[in-house]
Structure 1
């Protein structure tokens, strides 16, 4: 993949950033005949779906921990199939009897596939909340199903029919999860179990909408899975689609600004000063950064500028990457959601107030359990897992981490290093509370901070979750902007968070550009990509190298 060659100046469309939203949009534009250029400022494609390698032994996912709704009629498989990628990305199902393990003081529950079985498990561990749990799951299962139907089937449907088909989503979708908890009169423990996986969308019950929670929960209750070969398989396959259909993808190319002339986007200027022209520009940067930095507030209505300036992002993350010289005994193929505080709403209020002496909860993802046969994940007999926790939004505790996005000086700052060492120890101690002692078996230990996230993705506030508040409760912008020819994709749009939400934003954006309902089309079976244009994958094929990574499989990634 070229990094330094000068690019042709004119394109049909330029995509800024290579997260799942940007790559999916670019792939659909490419297979429909557009000459597309994707520009990524980092050294590897994928945004939060990329991987990195350490110690010539371990491969860690930055953001792909599990994906829901991956059956034959699943949303993400349908998007990939529509590009001609059927069979090039495989998904390995997690334990259908318990793909998520939720642990609170005095309570343990495995989350199974299916709303009915989920309710049975909830009542089993929380019998005194039985009636409230029945009402909660009734509302959320209906909202999840109605929102999915709207996404997949409502193109061209009369608005009155949409209203008739989505009564529960209309009544509850924009209200907060806290409102539904109150309506159902649920105990603190029940609220914590129900919202235990809130790290999937990065905000607490008092900010998250029922629509967000219901759609994410419904997504996973349709079956959780992990891409065989790791998260880089997704971006590698999308990159092959783009280049196979005449597009181009470049890493190490930072866009300094989006060009706007006479109210219309017309190209980009790179950090090198090179100007590239296109009548369509798609930004995979988050919405505030797109408005305030890449484009400039002078090109937007005052209402949009105000929202961009007052926007609140999801909480940032700290992630501890762990390699062990032994397996973790007795673990099934399930994530662990460990909560030391049985009152999740109080825990989120603490985060909002900036309290983080120790993480109140952690999410632990076991890559070596989800993909045991991919050699790069870990050496035989070893374990590879990640410990994740939300942290306060302020960057002040990280010292020089508050420097401009993309800066690297923070990594040598004494205040930053001291905070990183302290948080590493608290994360390690919390992980041992959840898993039992393991530190004498540690072979690799590495902490990623909000500053790390900002450096690699240039996200506002170092959050990987996109917008938490954009005006009113539950409001998020669509992919089309008020600037002609300018679009925004990714986790800040109304299509939701996570890998699938970002991919949906990409196909929805391509559909708006093309003026056709692409997602309903491909979900119904349409295949727009030509698999004959995709390259053969030999025995030494490596998704990381396809995406710009310099290291062959099994060696250290720089």
Structure 2
């Protein structure tokens, strides 16, 4: 049991003032944490600098006809025993409010290498069978490699979901041997050739690093996540965001958008004291959860106050994973293909491909995600008979805040070149479609930083924070201050950031929340949630109650 000082709450008296917790930033991690604290009786303020909550899981609309997901392209493990449904169900959120539709279970990801095509199916056994059928000469090495990955993933998942009060099972030999070593070392041990190495790591764009610097545990958990079933939320990822906002507000919390935090207040005693908002308003609270970029949290919002010199220096010197550039494309015709994603690779030297991406060379790999296939019949994704998809690749992270870049001729030229390269890749994967384009725009690392305030324009977080694979804990060392999101030890992505949020809430509440909800605990009463009418718009709800009807919300139709 944690002591009062561990939770950041002063001993002997409840906190005063209007709030006892301020959450900085409305990404998945911040929203999940705020929701669990609210349903547990905490007085919560969530402050988001953007017009809507959601972070990398939000959507945007164009031409009153198309809606594009920014980052929730697909999620895994959403079956009956899935981790993300368990986190949602613990908040009283069931499939009636956030339904998930499965991608093609016989091939939710299509991997395209020169001369090799693999449709990745649900299930580890079928996955290995497909790999071996594609590269029969590599069967022995692939079988050994996949066996290690499967065992590591099973051990890690079991450690997270063990029942409350149950004795933890000691780490297995395979986890202690391989979990903390680079995936490239496992490849060497299994004597895999270049094509096999690229094939196994073809979906590495889900975390953004090459095998040489990726922990085996990172790749194993990503594969296991999707091999348990790949899904997409019905009604876009914004539906899940809006539902979390509904939960927070139903339990007395407040969600403020267009509400930047300029400073996290830390006293000389290394105790957090609240935040100062843009415009000068000070909100006093003994607990602050930062869902802002970790570097910005430590060096910017806190100015290093309360952190050890070692953490400040490690954070200052840290490098970020690659950033993402995306072409958003709409066509005036449907796509005739299964409900799948495409991972396209120009060659089988995966290390060289990542090195080229970080140098800003023309892309040699890309991920294609099809919104109109994942949510067919949606009134917002695209009009009937049209299609909506995205083409993503990795680009160098920003060296710092981008400054004034819009309308800069060199930036516009580089953006146009990247846009054309991504369209070229998409046509190689799908066939010609340029004459049917009805909307085309490109987002870069600068775009990500502008809207999300993401560190260096990347959604993946740290690459090297005092060691590859090393990441900060959700506990910061400053009493009462927690840090959640893509930089945490739980990793990036929808599930990783959600895990950081529920884990921070569990630390604060001194409860094993994840284990409890995986065992079926429900902390919220769905009867308190608002009734949804036919015109329910998740983007509107995601602005928070105070700004729900403010001007400037893009519509459809």
TM range (shorter): over 0.9
- Rounded to whole Å, the distance in 1 between the matches of 2:356 and 2:53 is 35
Matched with 2:292 is 285
CA contact (8 A) 2:108 2:341 kept: yes
Matched with 2:424 is 429
Matched with 2:377 is 373
1:388 maps onto 2:366 in alignment: no
Matched with 1:129 is 138
- Rounded to whole Å, the distance in 1 between the matches of 2:29 and 2:527 is 24
- Rounded to whole Å, the distance in 1 between the matches of 2:516 and 2:89 is 11
Matched position secondary structure for 2:406: helix
1:477 maps onto 2:472 in alignment: yes
- Rounded to whole Å, the distance in 2 between the matches of 1:23 and 1:349 is 35
Matched with 1:544 is 539
Q: Deviations over 1:104-161 (max 9, x none)?
A: 1111000000000000000000111101101111100011111111111176555xx5
Matched with 2:526 is 531
1:221 maps onto 2:221 in alignment: no
Q: Could you say what the CA RMSD is over the residues aligned between the two structures, in angstroms? A: 1.5
Matched with 2:3 is none
How far residue 66 of structure 1 moved from its aligned partner, in angstroms, is 0.2
Matched with 1:554 is 556
Which of 436, 442, 446 is residue 441 of structure 2 equivalent to? Answer: 446
Matched with 1:506 is 501
- Rounded to whole Å, the distance in 1 between the matches of 2:76 and 2:462 is 21
5+ residue gaps, structure 1, are: 1-7, 396-401
Matched with 1:18 is 26
How far residue 475 of structure 1 moved from its aligned partner, in angstroms, is 1.4
CA contact (8 A) 1:545 1:552 kept: no
- Rounded to whole Å, the distance in 1 between the matches of 2:245 and 2:469 is 32
Q: Deviations over 1:491-515 (max 9, x none)?
A: 1111122101110110000000011
Q: What is the TM-score normalised by the length of structure 2?
A: 0.93
Matched with 2:481 is 486
How far residue 10 of structure 1 moved from its aligned partner, in angstroms, is 3.1
Residue correspondences, number: 533
Q: What is the TM-score normalised by the length of structure 1?
A: 0.93
Alignment of 1:275-354 (within 5 A): 275-329=282-336, 331-352=337-358, 354=359
Matched position secondary structure for 2:145: helix
- Rounded to whole Å, the distance in 1 between the matches of 2:528 and 2:164 is 30
Matched position secondary structure for 2:380: helix
- Rounded to whole Å, the distance in 2 between the matches of 1:268 and 1:9 is 13
Matched with 1:196 is 202
CA contact (8 A) 1:154 1:162 kept: no
Which of 275, 297, 301 is residue 268 of structure 1 equivalent to? Answer: 275
Matched with 1:5 is none
Q: Deviations over 1:472-507 (max 9, x none)?
A: 232112111110000000111111221011101100
Alignment of 1:92-103 (within 5 A): 92-103=101-112
CA contact (8 A) 1:94 1:334 kept: yes
Matched with 2:11 is none
- Rounded to whole Å, the distance in 2 between the matches of 1:133 and 1:546 is 47
